[in-house]
Amino acid sequence: MHLMHETEEDTVVTTEQVRATFGPPRTVSRKPRVDAALADAVDIARSALADFADEAEIGDHIGVVADDERVVTHRFASKVRGYGGWEFFTTLARAPRSKVITVCESGMLPGENSILAPEWVPWMDRASEEERIRLDAIAAGEDPAKALEDAGYGQEVEAEAVEEPATTAPQPQDEDVSEKNKQARRAAKRRRAKQKAARQKKNKKSGGKDQKAQASKN
């Protein structure tokens, strides 16, 4: 029978406290450097903007910033009407140890003094309390008019209707117009009366001549 000899193993006792680590090891991040080859490619960045902008709309070169290693963004002033203060941008990149420059993207972004639309406000913040009560009643299947009346809005509408005068006093301009219309009607009536009198006089003269001619025949 084969017997195994007992051996003593060396053991190492550590007195230092072991701390657990979570996640990947931390790496020290540093600000990326501006790649010289990409920074000098201003003409390539400008030509990339010709796909959607006229040459006259692209202004002077403002500057270049490093987005990452071998990735930079060129900025140009915008001369587009209605986009005051906006800037064109073109992002360029290249692979390590490569001289081929690739256009990643291009477009327009607002600058520090650009004209922007006002900040969007949710509808619930823009709607009046009366409108919210009315829509909440409709959503709940209730009568919106009754809901407004219970909230006190119907009484205000009725009070405004009572206070409103039934008739409004005629303005001086309206009085002048009505007086001119009356005078015009009177003048037209007088002209018709004169024309009628002239026709009657003419008919009498023609009737007398006919009677004289009939008497001479007899």
Q: What is the pLDDT of residue 186?
A: 75
pLDDT higher than threshold 90 for residue 89: yes
Minimum mean pLDDT range among 56-65, 92-101, 178-187: 178-187
- 114-173 pLDDT per residue, tens: 878 788 888 778 888 888 888 888 988 888 888 888 888 865 544 554 455 555 555 556
pLDDT higher than threshold 80 for residue 55: yes
pLDDT higher than threshold 50 for residue 65: yes
Q: What is the pLDDT of residue 179?
A: 74
Q: What is the pLDDT of residue 151?
A: 81
Q: What is the pLDDT of residue 113?
A: 82
Q: Residue 158 corresponds to which tokens in the numbers above?
A: 């009725």
Q: What is the pLDDT of residue 123?
A: 78
**How far is Cα 138 from Cα 134, in angstroms, rounded to an integer?**
6
**How far is Cα 35 from Cα 94, in angstroms, rounded to an integer?**
9
Q: Please state, for a pLDDT cut of 90, what percent of the chain lies above it.
A: 32
Q: What is the pLDDT of residue 132?
A: 85
What is the CA angle 41-47-49, rounded to 5? 115
**How far is Cα 116 from Cα 37, in angstroms, rounded to an integer?**
34
CA distances from 57 to 79, 105, 106, 117 (A): 5, 18, 15, 21
What rounded mean pLDDT belongs to the chain?
Answer: 77
**Residue where the block lists tokens 């081929």:** 100
Q: What is the pLDDT of residue 185?
A: 72
Do 66 and 35 touch, CB atoms closer than 8 A?
yes
- 14-43 pLDDT per residue, tens: 455 545 555 565 564 678 899 999 999 999
Q: What is the pLDDT of residue 171?
A: 57
Q: Residue 70 corresponds to which tokens in the numbers above?
A: 């071998």
**DSSP string of the chain, one letter each residue:** ---PPP-PPP-----SPP----SSPP----PPPPPHHHHT-HHHHHHHGGGTS-GGGEEEEEEEEEEETTEEEEEEEE--TT-TTEEEEEEEE--TT----EEEEEEEEE-TT---PPPP--HHHHS-HHHHHHHHHHHTT--HHHHHHHTTHHHHHHHHHHHS-SS-PPPHHHHHHHHHHHHHHHHHHHHHHHHHHHHHHHHHHHHHHHHHHHHHH-
Q: What is the pLDDT of residue 12?
A: 47
- 205-217 pLDDT per residue, tens: 766 666 666 656 5
| Mean pLDDT, range 195-204, rounded to an integer | 75
| Mean pLDDT, range 101-113, rounded to an integer | 92
